Structure 1
Amino acid sequence: MHSLDRIEPLDAASPEFPVSIDDIRAAHARISPSIVRTPTLHSKTLSALSGADVWLKFENLQFTAAYKERGALNRLLMLDPAARAKGVIAASAGNHAQGLAYHGARLGVPVTIVMPRPTPTVKVMQTEGHGATVVLHGETFDDAYAHARTLEVERGLTFVHPFDEPDIIAGQGTVALEMMEDAPEIDTLIVPIGGGGLFSGMGTAARGIKPDVHLVGVQAELYPSMYDVIKNANLPCDGDTLAEGIAVKEPGLLTRRFVAALADDVVLVDERSLEQAVSLLLQIEKTVVEGAGAAGLAALLAHKAMFAGRKVGLVLCGGNIDMRLLANVLLRDLARSGRLARLRIRLQDRPGTLYNVARIFQEQGVNILELYHQRIFTTLPAKGLSLDVECEPRDEAHLARLMAALAQAGYDAARVELA
């Protein structure tokens, strides 16, 4: 259910607000000896591209490559000795599992993580590598979550929610404490929202330091769960998003209160924008981020008018992306920018035809990477063939010159477009 009918938004100034700037400062004092004080750096190139003044907070440089360590560690440090001895449990196949497992092992707190059975083996191995016990249960996250709550009661463990707890929110808020200290000129924060824990903590911290700071949340277009709550909309939440770290169908009951009270706006970004942002951060900043970690930049570039002239802080909240997926994203970005292309050319099956086509590529200075002939499975006549040429122009203008040269030579050539 995506509606504010279930729970009233809190006023940030209300004593009922369950996390304060003081709670976040206390959390920072508690966790700072054991986390990385990641840099907040100004980006000249992204500033020029976006029309805003841009600072980046590199949370992908944490030991487990994500900000989730902060909340997990704060929660572990707040446990009483008896709870520490029995251990904690969580349901997660992502960064929360890694952060909880790593700091649990470091502190000597037993950690059990319940994951759905289809979870990629590499994630299971990474979590076990940090010393956690992994229980595979069910086909979906909801199945794993329900089983974790059952084991919590059966084994007397403490459940650590990935976002909907005050101690978690306070830990995540330490990201903004550091950002505002390192770059006090920031007047706008763009924060990714999945369950809402990061936005809740960062928003509380930033408003506590600078009451007029502008706070904008961003969600993947395929998973607009918090957007639905705030905008009283009913957009569907489903699909295979690059930003899997914020692909949450049901935001927290607590965090939705924070977002309702703190957010100036919540915006959506599509998959193409997320892919472009991941690629730009690698090309420009030489840093690897996952889809969720690039969501802030995706929003900045997709909604330029909203942020023009502002001093914007973006948090690169995680860097855990599958290498094959990253390779696909980078190649797709090259294709969209005209630096990689596949052309489909109709030819007659005669000696010398391929040579003549290749000569045009040579004359135009376009490198050929791969050739694919298709004689049988085609709608062309028996004497015809389809030739796919994967090639490497310098840019869109260079590709256009190649297409014009092929047309002038009498060849029917078309570009194979990406989705």
Structure 2
Amino acid sequence: MPKSYIKRILDARIYDVAIETPLEPMRQLSHRLGNRVLLKREDLQPVFSFKIRGAYNKLLQLPAEQRAKGVICASAGNHAQGLALGAQQLGVRATIVMPSTTPAIKVNAVRMRGAEVVLHGDTFDEAAAHARALVDERGLVFIHPYDDPDVIAGQGTVAMELLRQHPGSLDAVFIPVGGGGLAAGMAAYIKYVRPEIKVYAVEPEDAACLKLAMDEGHREGRLPQVGLFADGVAVAQIGEETYRVLRETIDGVITVSTDEICAAIKDIFEDTRSIAEPAGAVGLAGLKKYAEQSGEQNQALATVCSGANTNFDRLRYISERTEIGEKREAVLAVTIPEKAGSYLQFCRDLGDRSITEFNYRYANSGEAHIFVGIQVSTDADRAQLVANLEESGYQVTDLTDNEMAKLHIRHLVGGRAPGVSNEVVYRFEFPERPGALRNFLEQLAGRWNITLFHYRNHGAAYGRVLVGLEVAEAERPELNTLLDQLHYPFWDETENPAYRFFLAQRD
């Protein structure tokens, strides 16, 4: 099977528009994992994705009369940009059908290449069905994003370059999978030229169509729902031709979570100062998971950063999830006594662990439920943290793997607190160092009841903190004197209209 693709890959004439991308060592990650990690930088292509290879190769293989009819494809974005650029280079009219969920950066990039964009449906499959209808309606030639031998061969040139750039020992290659075009082309080439190298396909847990096919022994099954976070690999069913190749060439399928993908995006940034799109970091997430679970050391491991087309406004969400993805943060719901000094005791019971987030709003006079993020080092360390807190008498619920808690609940801890009077609200900037929060609570020394607390560590020099306190009018000068002695910048926000509107008790 792999042999049939070798000549196609060697004959692919893609370098009129594509470039040979570098294979770069990830020095920081290599040191951390104890393995040599190599990153194939397909995010550096003119369209910021490997897709230009397969799309252009397919266009070159079309007879002149078919090119004259114009071409059409369905794509979440990267294949669309590759086809649009290739068609522009060859003077071919291109129509691109994209799901309505496609990031605006990809839609705009396709339009800038001169292609007609048609937005249809919420998923790739819906867009593909509409594109097929337009083929019949307009007489266009359909260019499949992955399930086509010429497209697969074009993507296989990534492996041809990789093995030429690294002729030495290579233990394993990790390739992201959506429909399977890149993985099929690369696996076919690698297994023919260097069969001793292990090849692993990597998919998001919520879009694992190849794993489904491999588990069932056929590709007829379809995922009932597909996660859209890594939109470039959000496919419900593996391709027919790609599955035929992959079932004979890969050594296994690895699935990764959204948090693990976010952590891989951060790793790529820290080693290269570039920002991968979620689908572009899937392969690295799988590599890291393999290294952790196998315990292998001193191996040469390679993967592909397959794309960098992401909306800038997604970075906030990605940043929010990286610490959990790196297993460096535990997110917990903890019940503590609703009385002065209980926060301080909780911080003391944590010892030297850094708190990354703290959300609380007064609910009743008996118990307080806090939403807290705490720095940990591993899953085992997280389990030990929970056990230690429970031994200290706290009721603890681990929410680290609770998607709703991470997406929504952390931002909804609040509201108007019944029974609270004389509430004042202050905004602080705490220095981001262990003990800063504990020092604040030590200074308060249980003098006033805390009614609201929100804190999130974002990796900056200062943490932004919002605190509510129940303080009688006559005691407020004393409070301000104490806060001055802390030497933390603070602002009285009691009259802030946002607080008055959403959180303050109504008269």
TM range (shorter): 0.7 to 0.9
SS at match of 1:135: strand
Deviations 1:22-41 (A, max 9, x none): 211111xx112431111011
Q: Is 1:404 the counterpart of 2:438 in the alignment?
A: yes
Offset at residue 406 of structure 1 (A): 4.0
**CA separation of 1:414 and 1:272: change in aligned 2, threshold 3 A:** farther
Is residue 74–residue 171 contact of structure 1 (8 Å, CA) maintained in 2?
Answer: yes
Residue 94 of structure 1: which of 62, 69, 77 is its match? 77
Using the alignment, how far apart are the partners of 2:29 and 2:86 within structure 1?
Answer: 34
Correspondence for 1:359: none
Using the alignment, how far apart are the partners of 2:178 and 2:98 within structure 1?
Answer: 18
SS at match of 1:57: strand
Offset at residue 377 of structure 1 (A): 1.1
AA in 2 matched with 1:50: L
**CA separation of 1:343 and 1:305: change in aligned 2, threshold 3 A:** closer
Give the 5 Å matches for 1:15-34. 19-27=4-12, 30-34=13-17
SS at match of 1:324: helix
**CA separation of 1:37 and 1:271: change in aligned 2, threshold 3 A:** same
Residue 199 of structure 1: which of 183, 205, 224 is its match? 183
Correspondence for 1:343: 358
Is residue 69–residue 103 contact of structure 1 (8 Å, CA) maintained in 2?
Answer: yes
Is residue 378–residue 386 contact of structure 1 (8 Å, CA) maintained in 2?
Answer: no
Is residue 40–residue 182 contact of structure 1 (8 Å, CA) maintained in 2?
Answer: yes
Offset at residue 147 of structure 1 (A): 1.9
Correspondence for 1:269: 256
Q: Is 1:170 the counterpart of 2:153 in the alignment?
A: yes
Report which stretch shifted further, 140-149 or 250-259.
Answer: 140-149
Using the alignment, how far apart are the partners of 2:223 and 2:135 within structure 1?
Answer: 31
Using the alignment, how far apart are the partners of 1:380 and 1:386 within structure 2?
Answer: 16
Q: Is 1:108 the counterpart of 2:114 in the alignment?
A: no
Flag the structure with more relative contact order, 1 or 2, with Cα contacts below 8 A and sequence separation at least 6.
1
Offset at residue 246 of structure 1 (A): 0.9
Using the alignment, how far apart are the partners of 1:243 and 1:101 within structure 2?
Answer: 22
**CA separation of 1:386 and 1:380: change in aligned 2, threshold 3 A:** farther
Structure 2 unaligned blocks of 5 or more: 330-353, 363-410, 458-507
Residue 135 of structure 1: which of 102, 118, 131 is its match? 118
Residue 280 of structure 1: which of 267, 278, 286 is its match? 267
AA in 1 matched with 2:152: I
Residue 287 of structure 2: which of 287, 297, 300 is its match? 300
Residue 320 of structure 1: which of 299, 306, 309 is its match? 309
Correspondence for 2:476: none
Using the alignment, how far apart are the partners of 1:184 and 1:196 within structure 2?
Answer: 25
Correspondence for 2:420: 381
Is residue 59–residue 87 contact of structure 2 (8 Å, CA) maintained in 1?
Answer: yes
Offset at residue 320 of structure 1 (A): 0.5
SS at match of 1:289: coil
Offset at residue 170 of structure 1 (A): 0.2
Using the alignment, how far apart are the partners of 2:9 and 2:440 within structure 1?
Answer: 63
SS at match of 2:130: helix
Deviations 1:359-418 (A, max 9, x none): xxxxxxxxxxxxx9x997124622456767675614xxx1xx234334443376977689
Deviations 1:71-104 (A, max 9, x none): 0000000011101111111011310000000110
**CA separation of 1:380 and 1:61: change in aligned 2, threshold 3 A:** farther
Correspondence for 1:238: 225
Deviations 1:141-191 (A, max 9, x none): 333211211221232221100100000000000001001100122231000
Report which stretch shifted further, 263-272 or 302-311.
Answer: 302-311
Correspondence for 1:215: 199
**CA separation of 1:382 and 1:315: change in aligned 2, threshold 3 A:** same
Using the alignment, how far apart are the partners of 2:106 and 2:249 within structure 1?
Answer: 34
Q: TM-score, normalised by structure 2?
A: 0.67
Using the alignment, how far apart are the partners of 2:17 and 2:195 within structure 1?
Answer: 29
SS at match of 1:31: coil
Is residue 152–residue 184 contact of structure 2 (8 Å, CA) maintained in 1?
Answer: yes
Q: Looking at CA atoms only, which structure, 1 or 2, has the larger radius of gyration?
A: 2
Offset at residue 346 of structure 1 (A): 7.1
Residue 161 of structure 1: which of 144, 165, 169 is its match? 144
Using the alignment, how far apart are the partners of 2:69 and 2:314 within structure 1?
Answer: 38
Using the alignment, how far apart are the partners of 2:142 and 2:222 within structure 1?
Answer: 31
Q: Is 1:60 the counterpart of 2:75 in the alignment?
A: no
AA in 2 matched with 1:393: E
Using the alignment, how far apart are the partners of 2:177 and 2:21 within structure 1?
Answer: 20
Structure 1 unaligned blocks of 5 or more: 1-10, 14-18, 348-371
Offset at residue 50 of structure 1 (A): 1.8
SS at match of 1:288: coil
**CA separation of 1:42 and 1:237: change in aligned 2, threshold 3 A:** farther
Using the alignment, how far apart are the partners of 1:308 and 1:417 within structure 2?
Answer: 35
Is residue 155–residue 186 contact of structure 2 (8 Å, CA) maintained in 1?
Answer: yes
Is residue 76–residue 231 contact of structure 2 (8 Å, CA) maintained in 1?
Answer: no
Using the alignment, how far apart are the partners of 2:37 and 2:105 within structure 1?
Answer: 34
Using the alignment, how far apart are the partners of 1:63 and 1:375 within structure 2?
Answer: 47
Correspondence for 2:127: 144
Q: TM-score, normalised by structure 1?
A: 0.80
Is residue 223–residue 237 contact of structure 2 (8 Å, CA) maintained in 1?
Answer: no
Offset at residue 309 of structure 1 (A): 3.1
Offset at residue 259 of structure 1 (A): 1.4
**CA separation of 1:278 and 1:211: change in aligned 2, threshold 3 A:** same
Sequence identity of aligned pairs in percent?
35
Q: CA RMSD in A?
A: 3.0
Is residue 343–residue 390 contact of structure 1 (8 Å, CA) maintained in 2?
Answer: no
What is the total number of aligned residue pairs between the two structures?
371
Is residue 90–residue 97 contact of structure 1 (8 Å, CA) maintained in 2?
Answer: yes
Q: Is 1:229 the counterpart of 2:179 in the alignment?
A: no
